[in-house]
Each structure stands twice: as structure tokens, then as C-alpha cells.
Amino acid sequence: MQNKKVASILHRVADYLEMDGVDFRTKAYRRAAHTIETLSVDIENISKEGKLEELPGIGKHIAEKIEEILDTGKLQYLEDLKDEYPLDLDSLMSVEGLGPKKIKLLFNELGIMNLDDLEREGKHHHIRRLKGMGVKTETKILQNLEFARKSTGRELLGKVLSLAQEIKGRISALEEVSQVEIAGSIRRRKETVGDIDVLTVTDHPNHVMDFFTQMDLVDEIIAKGHSKSTVRLYNGMDADIRVFKEEDFGSALLYFTGSREFNIHLRKIAISWKMKLNEYGVFQGDECLASRTEKDVFKTLGLDYITPELRENTGEIEAAQEGKLPHLVDYNDIKGDLHLHTNWSDGKNSINQMAREAKSRGYDYLAITDHTTLPVARGMNDKKLKEQMSEIDKINSQIDDITILKGSEVNLDSQGNLDISEDVLEELDLVIAAVHYDFRQEPEKMNMRISNALENEYVNILAHPTGRKLKERQAYKLDLEQLFQKATETGTVLEVNSSPKRLDLKDIHVKMAAEHGCQLVVNTDAHNIHDLKNIKLGVATARRGWAEKKDIINTLPLKKLLKVLE
């Protein structure tokens, strides 16, 4: 399936077009890209049937472009745009506050093509002189650049996971392949990913290498050998493939899943027992004691099986030695999603559509929590919320086997007051509090603001508690110890937001919060029906933070959940 690749090329065209300002063309490319990335069928099949133009937002012009991508693997129009603006758009766009328009200005006026140029011109104070920039903007750009640097070269797990699974699927469909797994940081479900690591077992390595390096997802072959090959994919990400023998697959999988620190600790344990551990097995002298499965290797080293999400050497090895590993929340323990947006605010789908999607996932409940008066998100006021509550009553009476709860994601002003009146809050099943503006307060102020919200008797959940956005924005300055303390005192539930860019609380904060005794909820913050599947990213984050089922309120059946929300 090339849907993701086609969508990413169309998005990139839109980025370039946006340099000259947003117009109908930019919007058309964005819309087409969006249609394709959320399509559940293969775009290639639709193209073969000549039905591209039947898709929403795809006209004759863009249909031709899509056919060209499917035929040739690239788009000449995009190549021409790249020639016109020979700059590293990816890294420049990753700096918060820099969009296509500013990037064009910086390129035209100062010749800035990449982050190094940007830093140099910023430090020489050349940026502040440009029209619409100023000292404040220049300072902010320099600060955000630092942050963007750290995250370049890594991609969001939520963006890479399905691509990795696609590659795994294609390889496992080959007759000569008996095993294939994705290893590395993706298997550990780390929030960002450096590259894709594929491990296989096959008797015909050369066939598999040919197949791997010739996939239509590949832009460039970096290295091709008999036991290992590396390619660069269309999105700039590298993928490795390695071939092993059936009897070594367990130790290879263990080794290439990492993390590095985890591996080092395991090797030390092996050495302390006068053994040797590498990707081919655990050895005593020349004798191989275990290598076929990961379980065998763990057992030989005196350890309980450690799930990949925990393999970061943060105490899990000691726990496995003592038989004290946590009973992690499972991916199918989640009984409902408690943070969802609809077309009543800035979501794409109706309440009914969201409810049916949740039902098809097997959930017992969901909560509709549209934004309040936040200007950018077409928010709700008291009156609209009341209307929505009646609408939910109506839909609840028409749908079986799932319950729609009435909620709201209420904004906190800079003091932590809510922007909905108490008698309306009273009627809701749950209230989520969230910071959506004034991010840059001093820590004392921010803590006070959030404390006020947690102390509010109507607030059940604090959404995305630290406000970070991966590759985009740092967390608020906030004393987390104080926050976790206050959350336990007030019984406010802290969210693990599953949105690929947020994953907030993040893994280590989940662990801290749970150690403080905080209650957690894993939500998607979905803005359309497709976002509901992001729940697996939130559960992965909770698991990486050692969270158990008992720590997470939306693993509870409805009746018990309502008790918690009382």
C-alpha cells in the first residue's frame, strides 16, 4: 500500500505552495493528502479502477499527479518546486514558529537553507531586521531551534509504526521467509524512532534482500549485502534488514530490540555467571545454552521475561531477577475513551459517528468532550453545551451496547478558572481541564494555575498535563512533584494523552505519577474517527511507565467508572 507515501508527497507540495501564501491550490493538495492518509483501501486499486476522482477532494488535476506518483515513484512537480527552493524544508519546518511563509522570507532575504544558516543569521542579529520579525521573534526562533536540533533525524512513533508494520507484512508474505519481526526502538514503543530495524529468518537471503531493496517505499539503497541491507525510505527514514538462522532468532531479537543500556546490563549478568551473551546466544565456553527464543535466553540468565516496552535498564532487570515485574496494563484492557472531539467544536465527525466507531472497537463507553470557548477551536459556551447534552440523550436512546458520557474539555484561564458556569458543569458526567494558552508562565504561576483547577470540585481529569509537543514545543515549566502531590490529594485523574505528538504524560512521568499514587486515564483526544486507533500509543506509553490496570480508570466497567467520576 502506498497511501502514506502518496499523502506525504502531496503534503510536501502543499508546504512549498504555502510559501507563496495559502490559496486554493494549497488547500486542494492538503485536502487530497488528508483524504488519502485516512483512506482504508489501497489507493493503487482505486487508481487502477479509474475511480480516483470519486474520492472527496480529488479532481482531475490531482488525480493525474497521484497516477504519476504511483507509476514513477515520484512527482516531477515537487522536484521542480524543490529546485526552485533548494532548502532543507523538513528541519526548518520543525522549528516552532517557522512556517512556509517565514521560511521563504528567510531564504529570499538571507539565503537561509538549513538550521546552521538559521543559527548563524540569528546570532548575528540579521533576522530581527526583516519585515514582521523583530527582536522577540528572533530570540524565540533561536530558542526553538535548539529544541528542533535535538529532535531532527528522529520521527514520531505514531508516524512510523504503521509503516514498519506494512514492511513487516510485505516481508512475511514472502514464501521463503519463516519469521520476521520489527526490533529496535519501535518494538520498545519509544516515543520517537531513529530507524526501522527488521529481523528475518530465511533460507534465501538474496531473494529477500532483492525484495527489500526494491520495495516501492525505497528512495535509495544505502548498503546491500547477504546478511544485512540498509535503505532510505520515501520519508527520509532508514530501514535495516538482517537475516538470521531459525535457531538464533531469539537471541538476535533480544540483541536488536535493545535498548543499548539494557543489553549492556544483560551482558554484565552473563559475565558474572562466567557466560557470554551476544546476538547468537548465551554461551558457556563453546557451548550455546540458549538462543532460539527470547524466553529461553531470559531464563538462562535467571530472569523472568521482560516485555520490550520495559527494556530501558531503569530497574526492570532487578525486578525480573526478584520475580517482581509489574503486571502491566494490556492493550485490550481499555474499555472506553474519555477525551473525544466532534464537529460541535473542532472535530471532523459527528457524535453519532464517533460513538459508532467506539462501539466497533468494542468499547463500553466514550465521553464527548468538545472544547469550550477557545477561540481557535470553535468552542462551546453554556448554551451550546446544554444543546449538546440533549443531543447525546437522544443518540444514547438510539444506540445499543455503548454509553455516551457527557463531558467537556474546559479551558483554564491564566489563574486556573474555568470558562463554563457551575450549574452546567454540575450536569456533566465528566469535566476535563486543560491549558491551551499562556504556556510560558513562570513555574510558580503555572503550578498555582493548575492547582486551582485540581481543587475545583467539578474537575475530574487534567488533560495533557505538561503541554509538551514532540519535535515542536517544550513542556510548561512546572514542578511535577507538586502536581502529582496535589492530584492525589484532590483525587484528580491525570491523562496519558495518546496523540502521537503529545504522549503526555510521557513514560517516565507516568512512572512518577503512579508511584505518587495518582490515578491515570489513557485517552486519544481524537478529532476524527481515525484518531481512535491512537489509543495503542497511549497504552504503550503507560506500559513504558510501568502502569498496571489498577492505575488506569478507563479499564473499569461503566458502573465503577461513574463512581470514580462522582
Question: In what side-by-side order are the strands of the sheet with 238-244?
Answer: 177-182, 195-202, 238-244, 228-233, 218-224
205/258 with CB nearer ligand DGT: 258
Least Cα distance to 238 among 217, 208, 257 occurs for 217
CA–CA gap between residue 21 and residue 104 (Å, rounded): 10
Binding site partner of 347, from ligand DGT, Ca ion, none, Cβ cut-off 5-8 A by kind: none
Number of residues that bind Ca ion (CB under 5 A): 5
Q: Do 90 and 15 form a contact (C-beta atoms < 8 A)? A: no
Q: Do 30 and 14 form a contact (C-beta atoms < 8 A)? A: yes
Strands in 314-385 per DSSP E: 336-340, 365-368
240/294 with CB nearer Ca ion: 240
12/544 with CB nearer Ca ion: 544
Residues 6+ away with beta carbon under 8 Å from 470:
151, 156, 191, 192, 500, 501, 502, 503
- For residue 138, the tally of other CB atoms under 10 A from its CB is 19
Residue at shortest CB range from ligand DGT: 258
Number of residues that bind ligand DGT (CB under 6 A): 13
Q: Verify binding: residue 507, ligand DGT, rule CB under 6 A.
A: no
Binding site partner of 256, from ligand DGT, Ca ion, none, Cβ cut-off 5-8 A by kind: ligand DGT
Q: Do 520 and 286 form a contact (C-beta atoms < 8 A)? A: no
Pairing status of strand 195-202 against strand 177-182: antiparallel
205/379 with CB nearer Ca ion: 205
- Name which of residues 145 to 184 contact ligand DGT (CB under 6 A): 184
Q: Verify binding: residue 194, ligand DGT, rule CB under 6 A.
A: yes
259/350 with CB nearer ligand DGT: 259
200/555 with CB nearer ligand DGT: 200
193/505 with CB nearer ligand DGT: 193
Q: Do 156 and 471 form a contact (C-beta atoms < 8 A)? A: yes
Residues 6+ away with beta carbon under 8 Å from 380:
344, 345, 370, 371, 372, 373, 388, 408, 420
Binding site partner of 259, from Ca ion, ligand DGT, none, Cβ cut-off 5-8 A by kind: ligand DGT
- The three cell numbers of residue 363 are 468499547
Q: Nearest distance from residue 157's CB to Ca ion, in Å?
A: 11
258/465 with CB nearer ligand DGT: 258
> Which residue stretch of 67-75, 100-108, 142-150, 194-202 sits at the interface with ligand DGT (rule: CB under 6 A)?
194-202
Q: Nearest distance from residue 263's CB to ligand DGT, in Å?
A: 4
Binding site partner of 484, from ligand DGT, Ca ion, none, Cβ cut-off 5-8 A by kind: none
Q: Verify binding: residue 344, ligand DGT, rule CB under 6 A.
A: no
Q: Which residues pair with 177 in a beta bridge?
A: 202
Q: What x-and-dash track marks residues 197-236 binding ligand DGT by CB under 6 A?
A: x---------------------------------------
Least Cα distance to 496 among 543, 557, 556, 452 occurs for 543
Binding site partner of 258, from ligand DGT, Ca ion, none, Cβ cut-off 5-8 A by kind: ligand DGT
Helices (H), 341-455: 351-360, 382-398, 422-427, 443-455
> Which residue stretch of 115-123, 235-243, 354-362, 556-564 sits at the interface with Ca ion (rule: CB under 5 A)?
235-243
Helix axes 24-37, 3-18, angle to 10 degrees: 160
Question: Which residue from 155, 240, 309, 337 is in contact with Ca ion, where contact means CB under 5 A?
Answer: 240
Q: What x-and-dash track marks residues 371-390 binding ligand DGT by CB under 6 A?
A: --------------------
Q: Nearest distance from residue 239's CB to ligand DGT, in Å?
A: 10
Q: Do 382 and 424 form a contact (C-beta atoms < 8 A)? A: yes
65/242 with CB nearer ligand DGT: 242
Q: Nearest distance from residue 196's CB to ligand DGT, in Å?
A: 8
- Name which of residues 247 to 266 contact ligand DGT (CB under 6 A): 255-256, 258-260, 263-264
DSSP 159-222: HHHHHHHHHHHHHHTSTTEEEEEE-HHHHHT-SEESEEEEEEEES-HHHHHHHHHT-TTEEEEE
The torsion angles phi and psi of 308, rounded to 5 degrees, stand at -50, -40
- Name which of residues 156 to 215 contact Ca ion (CB under 5 A): 184-185, 195, 197
Question: Which residue from 193, 233, 334, 420 is in contact with ligand DGT, where contact means CB under 6 A?
Answer: 193
**Residue for grid cell 528475518:** 200
**Residue for grid cell 539503497:** 221
Residues in contact with ligand DGT by CB under 6 A are 184-185, 193-195, 197, 255-256, 258-260, 263-264
